[in-house]
Amino acid sequence: MCGIVGYVGNNDAAPVLLHGLAKLEYRGYDSAGICVRQNNLEPVIVKAEGKLKNLIDKTDSGKSLVGTSGIGHTRWATHGNPTVENAHPHHSDDYNVIGVHNGIIENYQELKDKLLRNGYTFYSETDTEVIIKLIDYYCKKYKKGPIDAINKAMVRARGSYALAIMCKNYPDQIWFAKKGSPLIVAKGNDGCYLASDVPAILKYTKNVYYPEDYECGVITKDSIKFYDLNGDELKNKKSVLIELDADSADKGNYPHFMIKEIEEQPEVIQKTLNYYLKNDVIDLSSTGLTDDFLANIRNIYIYACGSAYHTGVVAQYIMEEISGVNVRVELASEYKYREYSQRPQSLVIAISQSGETKDTHESVLKAKERNIPTLSICNVQKSTISRSSDYNMYTYAGLEIAVATTKAYSCQLINLYLLAIKLGRLNGTINDDLYNELISDLKRIPSLVKEIIEEKDQIQRIAQNLVPMKDVFFIGRGLDYTICLEGALKLKEITYINANAYAAGELKHGTISLIDEHVGVIALDTQSKLYEKTKSNMVEVKARNGKVLAVTNYGNYDVDSASNDQIYVPKINEYLTPSLAIISLQMLAYYASIAKGINPDKPRNLAKSVTVE
Ligand code: G6P
């Protein structure tokens, strides 16, 4: 969602801010703005609706703005439309306080009323204008400087925020505060930076600090200071070295991040396996999970959103079959507001690529309140969810930029397979033969994924057939159904085709009434014990003139008679087939999106990291 950048240094700020905002574009936004200031001179604010390019054009790539300190923001509209008035930065009438904000101030109306009673006027519909003016109010009322005013505002504001603030009497300083929304601060050779995410500053430095909730601070061109809520300086903050390359935030020779990330899958799956599989033994020591702890777990509750939820559904099917534990998977946004008794000997698993998804984070907090141990499976290290969890089993997909996840999803599956096998081994539900087969086939996944990616020309051809369709149904049984969920989400996210997943056995209970010559059906049929049943469903669809694309294993060539087109994936232990079948569906969605002239990296209305409810 929104992106924040701040800079104080030796160079002109505007190009640094625009570069940072460009690197945060993937998070999703619909307007942008910057404020730049040269020493004691008046600050200049420029904002533009729509794409960042509009702001870049308006400022002649930043060259029209002179000044070595500034803040920038890309806004994903929550309170009010994506207009210039609502775009950040916002400021007090006398420009005493200027600021940008990520997150939501939940009690903004109550605070606004208080400020209205104190003579403030509001020009936007945003909660941000309220928090900026609240800081201004405390600055003027107590006259104790920005840290005091920011802390007083933090005590009053409910909700989540990452703030970057410029104050009139403090040129060449940018103040920051954080609660619940991501924020990093860093020192480079040419100045200090702050941002809502690492890609914004990777070009300049890889050493970053992570402010904790309710911490604030200030950057100058050569220093960073942190303070707690009492205003006491925190002198022992340690920086962390980021492992990502600046190149990972670039497309290289690829037309889109999405295809780059699809093609990176063999490598990142291998990397993730290498972290946890040592000499064919699953080693989770780096996660903090011990064998004794895991052997005691009888119930697993998985909470996640979007694609991460779909990996949870795969895990549920597999864990319940092979590991002897009860598994319940639930959308984090639902769990948050539901009450049910969670059994003893439980573990909550939160899955999230970004580690910032608000609903998933709140599920972790709720589990902690209930004293249930929490394990996070996140791709972003030190993210909010991973820091709130008791145990972390990171995925090693590297920076994922395309809004529609591909490589992080695949790595999440690997972690969940490893956990399922580990639990099965500890519980004695997996014998030596099955263990050896699963481990040896897990190790084959990277090369088999590569083989599937090499078939991209054929998938690109088949994807053309989806272009005229308004509705596509994904059907499958068992594990195939779990893959349908993700295949349908991928397709709808980046092609805007109405795509839905149905358990194939449910087809006759309603959905079949929608089948005619205009409807496409993608049938997943990779599980041998269910093969004939799903094939019968394909025949039923074909008999009603629906167009069937079958996705099945090599060797199942009699599926030809039940379908119009076929995609074959290599054979592997069938529990692991989701890791292969999904690659074909990712590519299918990607090429259909391209054929429709859509930019798959930035689908409309979607954000990569959803930090609001
Ligand atoms: C957004 C993205 C989805 C993603 C979901 C969960 O909706 O568009 O692709 O699956 O958030 O994100 P997370 O970072 O928690 O995995």
Q: What is the pLDDT of residue 27?
A: 79
Mean pLDDT of all residues belonging to the chain:
94
Q: What is the pLDDT of residue 2?
A: 85
pLDDT at 610 over 80: no
Q: What DSSP line would sit under 192-238, residue for residue?
A: EEEESSGGGTTTT-SEEE-PPTTEEEEE-SS-EEEE-TTS-EE----
Q: Are 455 and 551 in contact (CB under 8 A)?
A: no
Per-residue pLDDT tens digits for 393-436: 999 999 999 999 999 999 999 999 999 999 999 999 999 999 99
Q: What DSSP line would sit under 238-307, residue for residue?
A: --EE----GGGGS-TT-S-HHHHHHHTHHHHHHHHHHHHEETTEE--GGGT--HHHHHT--EEEEEE-HH
Q: Ligand 1: which of 405, 412, 492, 613 to mutate, judged by most atoms within 8 Å of the beta carbon? A: 405
**Residue identifier of the C-alpha nearest atom 7 of ligand 1:** 306
**Residue identifier of the C-alpha nearest atom 1 of ligand 1:** 608
pLDDT interval class at 389 (50, 70, 90): very high
pLDDT interval class at 606 (50, 70, 90): confident
Per-residue pLDDT tens digits for 20-48: 999 998 877 889 999 999 998 999 999 99
Catalytic residue, chosen from 2, 35, 192, 216, is: 2
Does residue 305 have its Cβ closer than 6 Å to ligand 1? yes
H runs (alpha helix) in 348-431: 358-369, 384-388, 407-427
Q: What is the pLDDT of residue 341?
A: 78
Per-residue pLDDT tens digits for 101-121: 998 899 999 999 999 999 999
The radius of gyration of the chain from alpha carbons, rounded to an integer in Å, stands at 26
Q: What is the pLDDT of residue 451?
A: 97
Q: Are 548 and 563 in contact (CB under 8 A)?
A: yes
Q: Which amino acid is at 597?
A: G
Does residue 589 have its Cβ closer than 6 Å to ligand 1? no
pLDDT at 566 over 80: yes
Q: What is the pLDDT of residue 448?
A: 98
Per-residue pLDDT tens digits for 334-359: 988 888 777 889 999 999 999 999 99
Neighbours of 466 (CB within 10 A): 23
Tell me if residue 608 is catalytic: yes
pLDDT at 146 over 80: yes
CA atoms of 611 and 49, how far apart (whole Å):
21
Tell me if residue 167 is catalytic: no
Q: Are 590 and 494 in contact (CB under 8 A)?
A: yes
User: Of all atoms in ligand 1, which is nearest to the CA of residue 403?
Assistant: 8
Distance of CA 512 to the CA centre of its chain: 34
Q: What is the mean pLDDT of residues 147-151?
A: 97
pLDDT at 131 over 80: yes
**What is the 357 CA–ligand 1 centroid distance (Å)?**
7
Per-residue pLDDT tens digits for 370-380: 999 999 999 99
pLDDT interval class at 524 (50, 70, 90): very high
Peptide bond into 603 cis (omega under 30): no
Give exposure, 284-310, as e/b (b: 16+ Cβ within 10 Å). Answer: beebebeeeebeebebbbbbbbbbbbb
